Structure 1
Amino acid sequence: MAVGSRYRVERLLGRGGLGEVWEATDRALGRRVAIKFVTGAMQYPEAAQRFAREARTLASLRHGSVVTVHDAGTADHDGQTLPYLVMELLDGATWEFSHVDSIVETGARLADVLAHVHAAKVVHRDIKPANIMICADGRTVLMDFGIARDDSSLTRTATTTGKYFGTPGYMAPEQLQGRAATPASDVYALGIVLVEKLTGHRLPVTQLMPQVRSSIREPVLSLLTRMTAARPEQRPSAAECASLLRASETPTASRHVPSTR
């Protein structure tokens, strides 16, 4: 498949309910890129709106841990108009499947990028291992801003049909209750990701069995307890998380425990 005269689409990289990501060649610049298509835009107009918002959000962010956007547009394919987004092609695998040398340092990198995103008045709303790319060049990249919202827009958590915006296993209590997602909601989700990676249990710290909780050493344990607090106002900012994670040096930081999923 060709997209205009510029892109030659070659290999499917991934497929979701409403979209696909393909590897392609940018003929104009002679580079490999990833192209994300919305395949369900006709059946679900909201998907196209969400996709356009993702393109604008990504284009507004300038950070080494946010995927770079090169181009956007629409393509005609089999009588359908497919919105597409051209992004840098990342070499790596998501944190569902990747090993990292330091879970704590990886968490600090993610907290760094969240601090940048939050400073831009954007809430990601779907922090989870599947949306975190561990690259071969050492970068940790936060992906999939398809449901991110800015402060000037509605930040509702569920659709009128009751479908959640986000992944319930990582969502903060306020989101599950139908309240607006805030930067503190992203901090909670990151805390759950780190607890899961350190212990194999996808739970807030206060719900861990004592023997599991004791496997996370201080000061990381205290920080993760705050990050996964039930009340948003009790959670630290992403910038504070990054600082405290980097300041901590514990044996747990270099240990990788597979998820129990």
Structure 2
Amino acid sequence: MRLLGRGNHGEVWLAHDRALKRWVAIKSGLALEHEARDYPRCSAVVVLHDRLDDGRLVFEYCAWPTLAAALTRHWSATQCEQACLSAWRGLASLLASGWAHGDLAPDNLLVSPRGAIRFIDLGSRVRLGQPARHTRRDYSAPEVQAGGAVTEAAEVYAMAAVLMRLVRRTAGTTRLRRQLNRCLDPSPRARPSLVQLTRPLARPSPGARAARLSLLIVGLVTAATLSHVPAPADEFERLSQDAAATRLPGAPVRLVPVPTTR
């Protein structure tokens, strides 16, 4: 066997199960009875295969690295969005089973090269509406750290705190940062629901971008005409480039400043 890692509740070893004819992860340590009891059955968590006579647990082996380890690699904005969406959908699937993870952190999430997320180390999970078994200052919601119950809003906060570690390291993720900042609101009622978070981020359509660009052009020309102050030539040059970039039928490719007289 080979040691895969150590967590809050024990050690995990890689072994080959002759009966299953596959590699498995064997976990030893504390709170294993609690972790094995009513173990959630959903695609977001690693599968629990068996419990050995000595109390150790046999899990499926997933070769993905933890998010904590994957933070050092290069992430594109698209990969980052995929990871966040997968995390939200996985959390929704877990909560639908009636359980909260209770210990969301970068070292308790596995991430694939394409950004798929799976949860591990469910030894701290609790039923929704119950107090947490323990908290983490950097990730647990304020109300949970104060002794309150673990709710959907609390798990949304914890997941957002985890994902923010990734988003802050990735360029081109302004919309994701705004979304996560809303999830980190101190008030549970102000946080988005998982129904909202499990939808892909809306992207502005080319038509909407062209409409906003047209309004901006009209506003500049009108302001320059009414005030009898010529609009800056460099601003018209920038708008010309933006208009050409939309590549829409009929979109202007060159704007000419309107001459004004005093």
Instruction: For residues 34-67 of structure 1, give each alpha carbon's deviation from its aligned partner in whole angstroms, at most 9, with x where no partner exists.
Output: 01012xxxxxxxx43xx22322343x3221x310
TM superposition score normalised by structure 1: 0.68
Query: Quick check: 2:94–2:100 contact (8 Å CA) kept in 1?
Result: yes
Give the drift of 1:19.
Answer: 1.1
Q: Larger relative CO (CA 8 A, sep 6+): 1 or 2?
A: 1
Equivalence for 1:93: 65
Matches within 5 A, 1:1-261: 10-16=1-7, 18-38=9-29, 47-48=30-31, 51-58=32-39, 60-63=40-43, 65-75=44-54, 83-98=55-70, 99=73, 100-101=75-76, 102-135=79-112, 139-151=116-128, 155-157=130-132, 165-199=134-168, 217-218=174-175, 220-243=176-199, 246-249=200-203
Give the drift of 1:17.
Answer: 5.2
Query: Quick check: 1:147–1:166 contact (8 Å CA) kept in 2?
Result: no
SS of aligned partner of 1:230: coil
Give the drift of 1:225.
Answer: 2.5
Give the drift of 1:110.
Answer: 0.7
Give the drift of 1:74.
Answer: 3.0
Q: What amino acid sits opposite 1:36 in the alignment?
A: K
TM superposition score normalised by structure 2: 0.68
Aligned partners of 1:166 and 1:234: how far apart in 2?
A: 22
Aligned CA RMSD, in angstroms, stands at 2.6
Aligned partners of 1:106 and 1:249: how far apart in 2?
A: 17
Q: What amino acid sits opposite 2:41 in the alignment?
A: L
Provide structure 1 residue ranges, at least 5 long, that are not aligned to the other structure: 1-9, 39-46, 76-82, 159-164, 201-214, 251-261
Instruction: For residues 138-163 of structure 1, give each alpha carbon's deviation from its aligned partner in whole angstroms, at most 9, with x where no partner exists.
Output: 64211111111114xx72236xxxxx
Aligned partners of 1:189 and 1:238: how far apart in 2?
A: 13
Aligned partners of 1:72 and 1:52: how far apart in 2?
A: 9
Percent identity over the alignment is 31
Aligned partners of 2:195 and 2:165: how far apart in 1?
A: 21
Q: What amino acid sits opposite 1:236 in the alignment?
A: P
SS of aligned partner of 1:70: strand
Aligned partners of 1:128 and 1:36: how far apart in 2?
A: 19
Q: 1:174 to 1:138 in 2, by over 3 A?
A: closer
Q: 1:199 to 1:86 in 2, by over 3 A?
A: same
SS of aligned partner of 1:239: helix
Q: Give 1 or 2: higher helix fraction.
A: 2
Q: What amino acid sits opposite 2:153 in the alignment?
A: A
Q: 1:199 to 1:136 in 2, by over 3 A?
A: closer
